Chains A and B, each alone.
Chain A
Amino acid sequence: MTLDPFNIVFYAAAAFSLVTTALAITRSNPVYGLLNFVLSLLGMAVIFFVLGAPFAAALEVIVYAGAIMVLFLFVVMMLKLDRNAAARETSWIPRTIWIVPILLGAALGGELIFVLLNHAGGAASRHVVVSPQAVGIRLFTTDIGAVELASMLLLAGLIGAYHLGRPTKAGD
């Protein structure tokens, strides 16, 4: 590991993302959890930028943190969670409930890191910035079929959300 500015920024943003993600899944108030996750996404955008993907970094901030997570936040506000809900939430996560998932998560993460560290596929790569232009050209020429599939997925999501969200006679 060399300590040039890119590596310093990467490790700082990585530590930031890890801490905020860990905070996000342990909060009892969903709003605080979501705000922590938004912070984690902003750290992730910095990482994307360092990794030479400025277009993905912009999309992460605008679409993921800006649109998807804000939609999530609005829906959580519509759920009318009160103090009772927060207390119930706290009672659902006693410290003992984390033991088995932590063991399982550590096993999975440990295995993945073990595989990575034992992989001999080159130690470092040059810092190449892939421009948005290159992404756009590839996206709308060779990958046009995948774009069509993605649009169908979004259409299915739209129709599904409309169908499930329409008012019913029972009023629920």
Chain B
Amino acid sequence: MVTLSWQAPTALAAILFAIGMLGLLARRSLVFVLMSIEIMLNAIALLFITAGMRWGDPQGQIMFIFVINLAGAEIALGLILLLRLRARITTLDGDKATLLRDVKA
């Protein structure tokens, strides 16, 4: 009988989440900040799938669908905000986007 430990995928999810957090903390470019958030969301999705495998239950994949849903809504709003911000600050520097109004390039 084929057996898979549930610890290994869970540890992988933890490491991927830590990598995403690393990118979120270290990068200044807003493109990479958004991508790091996606990495963290994906790690959480892996955790749900792992839990679904552990119990042999469809609920894991259902939660995965909702995570994808959330990622889609989040990325649409994040990217449109990025495009609007790009017209104002011109360098995609997250540190410059401290004022939501009247940003001077």
**With A138-B58, A154-B72 in contact, do A127 and B79 touch (Cβ < 8 Å)?**
no
Write the residues of chain B forming the contact surface with A, with a CB cutoff of 8 angstroms. 1-12, 14-23, 25-29, 31-32, 34-36, 38-39, 42, 45-46, 49-50, 52-54, 56-62, 64-66, 68-77, 79-84, 86-88, 91-93
Instruction: Give every chain B residue within 8 A of A160 (Cβ-Cβ).
Output: 76-77, 80
Contact present for A130 and B61 (CB under 8 Å): yes
Contacts of A51 in B (CB 8 A): 4, 9, 49-50, 52-53
Q: Say whether B17 contacts A153, CB under 8 Å.
A: no
> Which residues of B have CB within 8 Å of A18?
12, 15-16, 19
Pair A34/B2 contact, Cβ less than 8 Å: no
Given known contacts A24-B39, A125-B53, is B15 in contact with A98 (CB within 8 Å)? no
The reply to whether A128 and B14 form a contact with Cβ atoms under 8 Å apart is no
- Nearest residue in A to B24 (C-beta to C-beta)? A101
Q: List 15 A-B contacts (CB under 8 A).
A: A1-B5, A25-B22, A37-B35, A56-B45, A56-B61, A60-B68, A72-B34, A75-B82, A88-B91, A98-B22, A101-B22, A104-B22, A109-B14, A125-B6, A157-B76
Which residues of chain B have C-beta atoms less than 8 A from A97's C-beta? 26
Q: Say whether A53 contacts B61, CB under 8 Å.
A: yes
**B interface, by DSSP: helix, strand, loop or mixed?**
helix
Quick check: B54 and A125 within 8 Å, CB to CB? yes
Across the interface, which residues of A come within 8 angstroms of B29, CB to CB?
Answer: 30, 89, 92
Q: What is the CA–CA distance of A153 and B77 in the complex, to the nearest angstrom?
A: 12
B21 contacts A104, C-beta separation under 8 Å = yes
Q: List residues of chain A with CB under 8 Å of any chain B CB.
A: 1-2, 4, 6-7, 10-11, 14, 17-18, 21-22, 24-25, 30, 33-34, 37, 40-41, 44, 47-48, 50-53, 55-56, 59-60, 63-64, 67-69, 71-72, 75-76, 78-79, 81, 85, 88-89, 92-93, 97-98, 100-102, 104-106, 108-109, 112-113, 116-117, 119, 122-128, 130, 134-135, 137-139, 143, 146, 150, 153-154, 156-158, 160-161, 164-165, 172
Contacts of B35 in A (CB 8 A): 24-25, 30, 33-34, 37, 72
The interface residues of chain A lying within 8 Å CB-to-CB of B91 are 85, 88
State whether B75 touches A68 (Cβ < 8 A).
Answer: yes
B79 CB to nearest chain A CB (Å): 4
Is the CB–CB distance between A124 and B5 below 8 Å?
Answer: yes
